[in-house]
A and B are shown apart, each in its own frame.
Chain A
C-alpha cells in the first residue's frame, strides 16, 4: 500500500491505495466522487475524463500513485456554489445529454477544448471530442452545446 496526497476539486486528500489502483478507482471508490464514470477498459470512451493540473486525461489510464502531488478536477468540481459552469449550462440548454453517462467526461473534455481554443469551428469541436464516445445524442446537440458554451465563455461569463 502507498499513501498518496493530492488535491481533488481544491481539497487536499491523503489516501492509502494499492499501487495498482487507477485514478478513477481512487475517485469513485475511495473518495466516492461517482460523477466520473467508466465505460470501457481500453481507453477509448472518455467517460472517465478528469483534469490533472488543468489538462484533460483519462483517469482509467492513469494510476492513482501518478497523481501524487497533483491537482485533480472532476465534474463535481466544475460548478461554483451550485451555479452551473457555462459548459454545463449549454449542455442543458442545447439538450447535449440524454442518459447522462458520458456527460461528465464529455463536459470535462469540451471545457478543456474551449479553454485551449476559445473560438473553435464545428469541425474542430468534432475532432476535439474524438476521445469521448456518446451513444445517445449522435453528437449533434453536444457539438451545438460546445459552440454555444464557447460563445458564452468568450463573453467572459465564466
Chain B
C-alpha cells in the first residue's frame, strides 16, 4: 500500500546499519561479568574405547577451574542429545536410536567427538590445559564411507545396529512401480553420489552459558537458528530444568544454512559447567573444530531408474539410497533422507508410480543433518541427472523431455505418488522464462565462439520442485516428527502507534527485521521505521520453532498476519466506539478506520492511543490494550519450483570448469521484498554451485577428515562465480494468508544438477557420459582421459 514500503517494495534493510558499523552483536562478542572460557578435548580417533582420562596435569595448569568428562555428565544425570524424528522401518518397527551423551562415555565414535571440557580464566589458558588432558585410547576399526559401512563384516559403529543400519525405510507403491517398469518402453538407470558437504556459515558456532545462583536460572547465548527449540530440548531432555528457569538468546547470528538448527552438546555443557564452576562459561568454535563438530550435509549413494513410454513420457521411478547418518543422530537427521527426500521424488513431473527405499547408515563420522536444501537437493539432483540421461539416450531434446512431462497448471492440486499434494504452480512458465533469460536459441553460436577460444561450452538445465514452509503439524506428526512445527507471533501496538512484532522465527541474514516490518506496514499502514521486529530471545518471545526449511515468511509471516488480523478486528470495536457507529459498519483500509459510506474516520494511531489511555472507554465490553498473539499451523507444505539454467566453459587441457552464465526463474510465491528474495536466490546459487564444482568433505577409509579446513575444503569465492540472472513468476500459495512459498533454499536445490548437466553437455563431444560432484578439474580431466582424451 502506501509509501513504497509494503508488499513488493525493495526496502533497504533496517538491520544493515549496525552490521556495517561493526556494531552487530554476535555470541562471541558477548563477555559476561566473571566470564570463564571452555575448550573441548576432542577425539583424534574415529573409533576408540577410552581406557582412562587423566586430567591431573591440566587441573594443575595456570588458570584452570575445572576439567569435566563423560563421567561427570553421567553422574549429574544430564540427558543425551535427542533426535527429533522417529522413522519406521519397512516392517513397522522403529529405527535404531543409540545414545548420544554430551561428552563421550566409554567410547568415541568420530574424530572430533568431545571427550572433556576444560574451563579456565582465559581462552589461552583453557587451550593450553586442554593439551595436557591425557586420554588413553584403545583404537578400534572404523568405517567412514557408505559402501564400506554396509559391506559384509564391516566394523560396527553401534553394536545395537547390525550392518550399521539405522533404519530401512520405504515410500511409494512397489507393486504399481514394478508394473510400470514391466510395461516400459525404456528404462534409464543411473548411479550417483551426492557429495558430503560442510555447512560453513562464516560465523563459527559459539555458546555462552550462565547459571545465576541467586535466581536459580540459566541463560544461554548461542548461535542458534531456533532458540525456542533449543530451550525446549534443554528443558525437556538434556539439562532437564523447567523452561521458566531457562532463557535462550540467539543474538545476531552469522549465517546458519541448517547447521545452527540443531541442539548441540556444547550448548548443554556450557550451561551445566557454569553451574559447576559458579561463573559464566563461554565456548567459541575454531573453524578447524567446526569441521569436526558442526553437522555435515548430504552424503548419499543412490541407484535410480526411470521408466518411460515410447513417447518419452515418464511412467515410473525406482530409487534406492544409502544415507550417511554419521556416528550419532542429530536433531533433524533422520527426516532429511526420508520426508525431505523421498517425498520429493516426483519433482515437477507427472510420474504415475514411484517407489523409493532409503537405508540410513551409521559411520564413524560427524553427524549428518540438514544443510541448505536438506534432502530436496539430493532428490532434485538424482531426478534431474536421470532426466538428462534419458534425454541423451533416447535422443530427445533436454528441454522437450521436461516440457513433455511437467505437471501442467490445470493439473493442480496435484497428488504425487509419494505423499505430497502440490497446491499450485506454473512450471512451463518458469521453464520458458529461464530459457529466454539465458538465450537458449543462441546456444549453438556461443558454443562455436567458445570453441574458437579452445573451450568447450555446455548448457545445463534443471526443472525442480521443493517442499518448504515446514510444516503441517498433523502430517509431520504422522510421519514421525516428535513435535508440531507451527509458528507463533505476537504483535504489540504501542499507545503512540508504533509496533513491536515478536516472532518465533530467527533472522540470521534473511532480513526479517525489514520484511516482517513491511508485512505489518502493508496491513496497518504504520511506517517501517516505527516497527520493531524482535526475535531470538525466549524471554521476550512467548514461543517459536525458528528458521529453517524456508519457513520463516510462509509460516512465521502467516502467524504475524493472523495476529494483525486480530488486532485490526479489535481496533474496529474501539473505532466503532470512538466513531459512535456499529462495529459492523466500520471498515479498515489504508491505515484508517472508516464508517462505511461516510467520511467519518479514525487513524490507526488514534485508535491505538484510545486503546491504552482513553478518558472514556467501554471497558466492560472491550478490553483495553492493542496486542495479540497467534499460532499458525500450515495446512500443507508450500511448493516453490522453477527452472535453473547454466552455461559453463570447460578448459579441456586442465579440466577447469568456469560458470559463465546462470539464469533462473523461480516461483517462490508472493514476494514481500524483491531485493531480499533475489539475494536469497543468489546465496543459494553460490552454495549449489559450490557443491557441484568445489566443495567436498573427504574422509579417508579410517575416518580421518582430510578436508578439515579452508585450506583443503574449497569455499566459493567471488571470482568463482558470475552475476546471476534471477527471474520470478508468481503463483500465490493457496493455503497461507499471504501466498508466500519460500526462497532460502531454491538455489541450493535447483542449480547443482544444472551445473553437472552443463559440464556433461560440454564434454559430450569427447564422449564423456558421467561425472560426480564436485566436478573438480582433476575429475573432469580424468573423465576426458578415460573417454579417450582431447581430440
Contact = CB atoms under 8 A, between A and B. Distances in A.
Contacts of B509: 98-100, 136
Contacts of B654: none
Nearest to B254: A101
Contact of A138 (B16, B202, B254, B685): B685
Contacts of B201: 99, 101, 135
Contacts of A101: 24, 26, 201-203, 254-255
B724 interface: yes
A33 B679 contact: no
Most chain A beta carbons < 10 A, residue from B508, B678, B683, B685:
B683
B715 A133 contact: yes
Interface string A72-109: 00111011000010001001110101111111100100
A153 interface: no
A45 B710 CA distance: 8
A96 B255 CA distance: 14
Nearest to B201: A135
B687 A100 contact: no
B203 A37 contact: yes
A54 B711 CA distance: 27
Contacts of B709: 40-42, 44
Interface string A9-20: 000000000101
A39 interface: yes
A10 to B, nearest CB: 15
A20 B676 CA distance: 42
A138 B686 CA distance: 5
A18 B125 CA distance: 12
Contacts of A102: 202, 254
A137 B23 CA distance: 20
Most chain B beta carbons < 10 A, residue from A33, A92, A134, A140:
A140
B682 A99 contact: no
Interface in A1-55: 18, 20, 28-29, 32-42, 44-45, 47
A141 B20 contact: no
A39 B203 contact: yes
A99 B202 contact: yes
Contacts of A139: 682, 686, 716-718, 721
A65 interface: no
B17 A133 contact: no
Contacts of A97: 13, 16, 19-20
A116 interface: no
A41 B288 contact: yes
Nearest to A20: B124
Contacts of B717: 126, 129-130, 133, 139
A40 B21 contact: no
Interface in B1-29: 12-13, 15-26, 28-29
Nearest to A142: B718
A135 B683 contact: yes
B517 interface: no
Given A101-B255, A135-B687, A136-B683, A45 B21 contact: no
Given A37-B203, A100-B252, A42 B723 contact: no
A129 B719 CA distance: 8
Contacts of B682: 137-141
A150 interface: no
B675 interface: yes
A143 interface: yes
Contacts of B508: 99
Given A126-B718, A139-B686, A47 B202 contact: yes
B255 A88 contact: no
Given A84-B20, A133-B717, A95 B202 contact: no
Interface string B510-531: 1100000000000000000000
30 contacts: A34-B22, A37-B203, A40-B287, A44-B710, A45-B202, A45-B715, A47-B202, A74-B22, A95-B12, A95-B675, A95-B678, A98-B679, A99-B254, A99-B509, A100-B20, A100-B509, A102-B254, A104-B22, A122-B723, A126-B718, A126-B719, A130-B719, A135-B200, A135-B202, A135-B257, A136-B683, A137-B682, A138-B687, A139-B721, A143-B718
Closest A-B pairs by Cβ, 7 of them:
A35-B22, A101-B254, A100-B19, A138-B686, A99-B509, A98-B509, A75-B22
Given A135-B686, A138-B683, 5 more contacts: A39-B204, A99-B253, A101-B26, A101-B254, A135-B202
